[in-house]
Structure 1
Amino acid sequence: MTKNLGLHFTTQRLIIRPLEESDYTSWLHGFVNRKPAQYRHDKGQIDMSDATEPWFAALVARQQQAIEADDLYIFGIFDKAGHHIGMLNIKNLSRDHFQWAEIGYFIHNQYWQQGYAYEALTELVKQAQEKLHFHRIEAHINLDNQPSIGLIEKVGFQFECVRKGFIFENGQWTDHYVYYINTHNEPPNI
């Protein structure tokens, strides 16, 4: 059973909220209709043969548990017609004196170049401040991922540094850019 977690946001064109079991068909359709990979960081078409309804129900339950634990907030992005456009997430890196999180995102490539990523990320940053009370939000980006760099800068994130050997991907430790945005929350009561 899917719980209403009170994390439903709307923009002019989008609905952003945790996945629900009833999203299965729309969610699957978004993945199945992806185009071939457009560049190195685009996964393109993905084999979804294992993504059955029971598998999806378990995924939704795990995501709800992560939200309830204040660990990882995962959101589906839907247009107002109910089409699954992509996903957003915000990972709690530290609460206490930091209120620090990392943001992640993807838009299905059949919906690229329509402003959906900018619209969704802008709203998530706002809600991460107002509802989740994060002060610092980071984005970690591959050095050669120019579309993601341009997007995150447009949303208002600032370049901070290169973290060397930061993430293990494709069989090796890779460098990543770190971009950040600080919200204007009051200091935590600790």
Structure 2
Amino acid sequence: MEGRTTLMALCIAITIFFRVLGALGSGKAQQLQVPPPAIFVFGDGAVDVGNNNYLEANDASEPVQANHPFYGIDFPNSKATGRFSNGYNLADFIAKAMGLKISPPAYLSLPGERVNSITGVNYASEGAGIWNITNYNGVSIHLLMQVDYFAATKSQMKTKLGNSELKNLLSKSIFLLDIGTIDIFYIWNRQFYTMDDNEINIPNLITS
């Protein structure tokens, strides 16, 4: 059990390290490039900018939300926006490094047409996992659904921009994916999984 806990802590530390390294590396590289026309964000709570604010409870649980104090105390106007942070989060910092002002808006916060955000959309949701079974009690936007939302956005943008202009925009855009922590928790917290099982599960997770 002690070995399992130590390994889990190591996985978390590695995840945090690469998140920070990725943000710094992206910013450094972007100094030599033209800012992208748009950024599309997929992932979990590290990059959620408010999608969970719009989720409703189900029979099993309520969505985890960050729309109340003391979240956002260092955000402009000390506003709790739904970011699981005291201020900006990883999506914001990477967007800033890419030359944008802030992360694009949360998908569920946009009007029905949702095509007014040509500069990008954020689909991330706290509690989301790569696998559907690892999502927080079914009250988060799992990765497959986030991809479906992007497909809907793409279809609406195609209607507005036309196929050629849309392809050009997407080819120059940034697609940010930050997810997998909850899947690692799921693997290491399942008592019936052995170390041999995890030699299969973790590569499958990476492949997913």
> Relative contact order (alpha carbons < 8 A, sep ≥ 6): 1 or 2 greater?
2
Higher strand share: 1
TM-score in terms of structure 2 length: 0.29
State the structure with more CA Rg. Answer: 2
Higher helix share: 2
